[in-house]
Amino acid sequence: MKEARFYEKFEKRKIKCFLCAHNCLILEGRRGICGVRENREGVLYSLVYGKLIAMNIDPIEKKPLFHFYPASTSYSISTVGCNFRCKHCQNYDISQYPKIHNEIPGESIPPEQVVAAAERTGCKSISYTYTEPTIFLEFAYDCARIAHERGIKNVFVSNGYTGPEAVKAIAPYLDGNNIDLKGDDEFYKKICGARVQPVLDTIKLMKELGVWVEVTTLVIPAYNDSEKTINDIIDFILSVDPAIPWHVSQFYPTYQLMDCPRTPVETLKKIRDMGMRKGLKYVYTGNIPGERGENTLCPKCGEVLIERLGYRIAYNKIQDGACYKCKTKIEGVWG
């Protein structure tokens, strides 16, 4: 265990945690919504510091980050726990583990060892992923500082429910963040146990603090695919920065949404067209390898600059951060 950051003490040993936007009031002996932060005698502890449940080498495109060191590998780590309870979670076996089993499994590994593993395996970055990295932010922060000193980049794959104080703490060491923008407020309340506004606030704040941001929307038929919901998401991204890459991904039945069908490919193509027609520069279709929507196009001349097939890159024609043909700037972190 390690004493947590981002909390206040109150009378009768009560604690208010402001690591994430839930701002849990935690009584003595209880845990927050995430299931991994516990009040012990008026002190808040992280129960997952260094307790890794997953360590893998992934292509950066899997995050997905398409404008961040393409074709590089990322050393990907996670603990158990999450501050959401999404009914469609692909990794529910680890994200919901503490709530289901009341246990905290994982292998105890110090930050130095994580960074050394990334160096040894030739990874360009470390990704804090699989579950919500905010809930193990103390550990991610210590890893990220060491990695930053050694020239290794740091990436979050996040639901965006990070509290503003925590965002400001991690941002100096965070190079990229793919943030889910899942739907409207009703979707968040019904499916995730959260609200949409803190996610919007985090996307804005990350951009303001200089973190490279990409946004993902997993499109679930009859849940978040209405024209209004999609238009609202597009308009929000446009209001922040039309150069934010937006990934619209195919849903497949999982966890508590097994009765919901896969997203039709035509729906994703239509959404991609809507986004680009309204002014977004880079819109991608995900989970459907082989579709043209995986490729990076020049927003001015339309030339295919990066051709992808799933997580594999066939070629990359971006030169010095620009289109090789018309020299238009292509926003991203190209190295």
Number of Cα atoms under 13 Å in the Cβ half of residue 266? 0
Distance CA 78, CA 238 (A): 31
Burial class (CB in 10 A: 0-12, 13-18, 19+), 57: middle
Task: Tell the residue number behind the tokens 């990229």, with chain if given.
Answer: 176
Dump pLDDT digits (tens) for 261-313.
999 999 999 999 999 999 999 999 999 988 889 999 999 999 999 999 999 99
Burial class (CB in 10 A: 0-12, 13-18, 19+), 290: exposed
Say if residue 257's pLDDT is above 90.
Answer: yes
Residue 121's pLDDT band, with cuts at 50, 70 and 90, is very high
| Tokens representing residue 261 in the block | 């069908």
Residue 335's pLDDT band, with cuts at 50, 70 and 90, is confident
* Alpha-carbon Rg for the chain in angstroms: 20
Number of Cα atoms under 13 Å in the Cβ half of residue 89? 22
| Beta strands per DSSP E along 53-175 | 54-59, 73-78, 107-108, 125-128, 153-158
Share of the chain above pLDDT 70, in %: 100
Mean predicted lDDT score pLDDT of the chain: 97
Distance CA 298, CA 135 (A): 37
Dump pLDDT digits (tens) for 83-105.
999 999 999 999 999 999 989 99
**pLDDT at res. 185:** 98
**pLDDT at res. 289:** 87
**pLDDT at res. 291:** 85
Dump pLDDT digits (tens) for 16-71.
999 999 999 999 999 999 999 999 999 999 999 999 999 999 999 999 999 999 99
**pLDDT at res. 156:** 98
Note the Cα 334 to chain centre separation in Å: 19
Dump pLDDT digits (tens) for 154-177.
999 999 999 999 999 999 999 999
Closest to 35 measured CA to CA, from 154, 193, 150, 144: 193
Distance CA 161, CA 202 (A): 7
Interacting residues of 306 by C-beta distance below 8 A, sequence separation 6+: 66, 70, 295, 296, 313, 315, 316, 317, 318
In the chain the domains, ranked by start, together with CATH numbers, are 2-46 (no CATH), 51-295 (3.20.20.70)
Taking CA atoms, 278 is separated from 106, 189, 233, 273, 310, in Å, by 45, 28, 11, 8, 26
How long is the chain?
A: 335
Note the Cα 173 to chain centre separation in Å: 16
**pLDDT at res. 194:** 98
